[in-house]
Amino acid sequence: MSSQVDLTKVKPYGDTLNDGRMQFSFTLPVPFGDEADEAAKQLLIKMGIEEPSIVYSEDLGVGYTFFTAYGKCQHTVDYSSIEVPKVDVEIMDKYGVEDFIKEHIKRDVVIVGACTGTDAHTVGIDAIMNMKGFDGHYGLERYHGIEAINMGSQVPNEELIAKAIELNADAIVVSQVVTQKDVHILNLTNMIELIEAEGLRDKIILICGGPRINHELAKELGYDAGFGPKTYAEHVASFVVNQIVDRNMI
Amino acid sequence: MLIERIINKYKTISIVGMAKNAGKTVTLNALLDEAYESQVTIGLTSIGRDGERQDLVTQTEKPMIYVYEGTLVATSESLFQMSDAKLEVMEITDFHTPMGKIVIGKVIFPGYIQIAGPSRNSEIMSTAEKMRDFGANLVVVDGAIDRKTTASPSITDATILSTGAVLSRDMQTAITKTVYQVALFNLEKTEDVSIRAIADQAIRNNEITVIGETVKALDIKTALNAGHTIGAALKDDSTAILLPGSLVTKTVMDMIKTNHHYKHVTVVVRDATRIFIDYKDWIYFEKLGVRIKVLDSINLLAVTINPTAPEGYYFDRESYKNQLAFYLKDLPVIDVMS
């Protein structure tokens, strides 16, 4: 970070510090033309953007227009006062996790994962569980000392829990990608309620993940951890093995 | 007043909601004000997150929570430091949440506070006990989203249910859902002494148990995905099946498909928070002659309503309240938003 930056008043950067320059792209349901450009401009002014300019607009057909615009943001945020709850554990790489298991747990760690409810998108759970992993980060199936079971997508919560009970799993990993009308929230709370009803909550580590999940939300939902974008198998694995030791689940 | 129905009767109560934005926090604030007027020392915690200005899920405005002097609160470390009320630390517990350890504090100077207590039922129970030891006359456990397990009689002694227009744009649908939830909470308790005696052991050992001329524990760890096994274990002489864990639609469905013995068997669960059957399936099972009873019923104190939904629509206050009150008979229905 530049030393000239006042972290209590952070503004967007365009060409020079604190010029507030921002780029926008959006669509309005109005026909292409000068009136459309003017509508887009007025909208930006209402958003508190100074000197808005519509630099590009395109007819999307059927009476819709797409815009690219620039403008100056007048607002600032106090970066120094921001505190985002994060998974508070030292992230080890694959080999670090494997050594940790060998040294402290001395048995296989069982992790069951699925994309639950109506959600059919395996991309998240596969990135964490599958052997090949994602973006150069191997998945849990490849870890020595971890038995990883990926049940796939559209798995009902009760089947995921039944599997975890059958295998005496240490952790359950739930992925939720589809979030329309907050369907993921109800699916995630249903999972917790079932686990409590089964009397399992103290015996199992519960993790949720997905593009709209974060650690703070995980707390509200009743999970032990929440992993958002840019987290990989080693994040999940580091958290699970540490919890097993901290919670005396060895 | 709500508090009159509570003080000297219950030590720990829960507020649970049918959904987000059903008015749990408003109900809590009303209760805190009443308790202050009646000089009842409250111990306050939440399984979710309360008192932040903006909702984490819906980004809508949320009511803040104001605590009076002497109130005990259990909240996470990070929120403890952010509180506007001045607190004295009573105990730093070992309970971890994603927002830090749970700290129990006593309000020295009143103000607004954010609450994020333990997320697990077992930790809620022991936190409640600690707050009572520090002098709370009544512990209030606020719920999260649509979670209802804290209403379990094994966790709290009595419950307030918050509901509202948020459940459905159609008032009748919203009322039906609420009336069904209340019916579940009030589900008939099995009075059979022998069943209750056997149930104690079945719960302790986590054994799914069939009662007939003999008592037999099944060799399964959960009823989930095991409806066929349970159905097959029912015989001519079976009278009851005890489930220490949950009862979901699929378990019942598989059980009744296996054979006809379910017709003379009572399915006994610990309490209504273990039941995961929606209204339509419940009606269907009832028609087929499935009998479900509980060991402990839930002491439902009142239903609070919020006639406005965050999506912008609302019900007619009076007719919503009156219709709900009509179906719920003796149970008080309180409009917390008026």
ipTM of model: 0.89
Checking if the pLDDT of A2 tops 60, the result is no
Regarding whether B272 and B199 lie in a shared domain, the answer is: yes
Q: Give the rounded distance of the alpha carbon of A240 from its chain centre.
A: 17
More confident residue, B78 or B287: B287
d(C-alpha B16, C-alpha B150), whole Å? 7
Regarding whether B37 and B160 lie in a shared domain, the answer is: yes
> How would DSSP label each residue in B208-235?
-EEESSSEEE-S-S-STT-HHHHHHH--
Regarding whether A152 and A235 lie in a shared domain, the answer is: yes
Regarding whether A116 and A7 lie in a shared domain, the answer is: no
Who contacts A108 (Cβ-Cβ below 8 Å, separation ≥6)? A101, A145, A146, A147
Checking if the pLDDT of B54 tops 60, the result is yes
pLDDT at A3: 62
The answer as to whether A19 is a domain residue is yes
Regarding whether A126 and A22 lie in a shared domain, the answer is: no
Regarding whether B207 and B88 lie in a shared domain, the answer is: no
Regarding whether A60 and A98 lie in a shared domain, the answer is: no
Regarding whether A222 and A129 lie in a shared domain, the answer is: yes
Regarding whether A208 and A145 lie in a shared domain, the answer is: yes
Kindly state the average pLDDT of the residues B14-34.
93
Regarding whether B91 and B25 lie in a shared domain, the answer is: yes
Which of A196, A223, A249 has the most B C-beta neighbours within 10 Å, making it the best mutation to test the interface with B?
Answer: A196
**Distance of residue A10 Cα from the nearest chain B Cα, in angstroms:** 22
Regarding whether B40 and B9 lie in a shared domain, the answer is: yes
Range of the domain at A233: 94-246
Last residue of a domain, one of A73, A104, A127: A73
Range of the domain at B205: 193-294
d(C-alpha A41, C-alpha A50), whole Å? 10
pLDDT at B287: 96
Regarding whether A231 and A175 lie in a shared domain, the answer is: yes
Regarding whether B163 and B133 lie in a shared domain, the answer is: yes
Do A216 and B76 count as a contact with CB atoms less than 8 A apart? Answer: no
List chain A residues with CB under 8 Å of B221: 165-166
Indicate which CATH number applies to the domain containing B82: 3.40.50
Regarding whether B218 and B149 lie in a shared domain, the answer is: no
d(C-alpha A23, C-alpha A28), whole Å? 16
Q: Which amino acid is at B271?
A: D
The answer as to whether A84 is a domain residue is no
Regarding whether A115 and A14 lie in a shared domain, the answer is: no
Regarding whether B176 and B76 lie in a shared domain, the answer is: yes
> How would DSSP label each residue in A3-41?
TT--TTSB---SSSTT--EEEEEEEESS-SSHHHHHHHH
Checking if the pLDDT of A236 tops 90, the result is yes
Regarding whether B43 and B128 lie in a shared domain, the answer is: yes
Do B224 and A161 count as a contact with CB atoms less than 8 A apart? Answer: yes
Indicate which CATH number applies to the domain containing A225: 3.40.50.280
The answer as to whether A85 is a domain residue is no
CB B164 within 8 A of CB B22: yes
d(C-alpha B231, C-alpha A211), whole Å? 41
CB-closest option in B121, B144, B246 to A220: B144
Kindly state the average pLDDT of the residues B50-60.
70
The answer as to whether A81 is a domain residue is no
Alpha carbon distance, N-terminus to C-terminus of chain A:
43
> What pLDDT digit, counting tens, does each position of B171-227 carry?
999 999 999 999 999 999 999 999 999 998 899 999 999 999 999 999 999 999 999
Checking if the pLDDT of A1 tops 60, the result is no
The answer as to whether A80 is a domain residue is no
CB A224 within 8 A of CB A206: yes
List chain B residues with CB under 8 Å of A198: 222, 224, 245-246
Checking if the pLDDT of A186 tops 60, the result is yes
Task: Work out how many domains chain B is built from and give that number.
Answer: 2
CB B191 within 8 A of CB B336: no
Indicate which CATH number applies to the domain containing A21: 3.30.30.60
B63 lies within 8 A of chain A by CB: no
Read off the pLDDT band of A179 (50, 70, 90): confident
List chain A residues with CB under 8 Å of B206: 199
Regarding whether B313 and B266 lie in a shared domain, the answer is: no
Task: Work out how many domains chain A is built from and give that number.
Answer: 2
C-alpha distances out from residue B93 to B47, B90, B130, B135, B239, Å: 15, 10, 10, 17, 45
**Distance of residue A88 Cα from the nearest chain B Cα, in angstroms:** 8
**Distance of residue A5 Cα from the nearest chain B Cα, in angstroms:** 26
Indicate which CATH number applies to the domain containing B266: 3.40.140
Which residue is catalytic, options A86, A102, A132, A219? A132
B264: Cα within 13 Å, side-chain hemisphere: 10
Active site residue A163: no
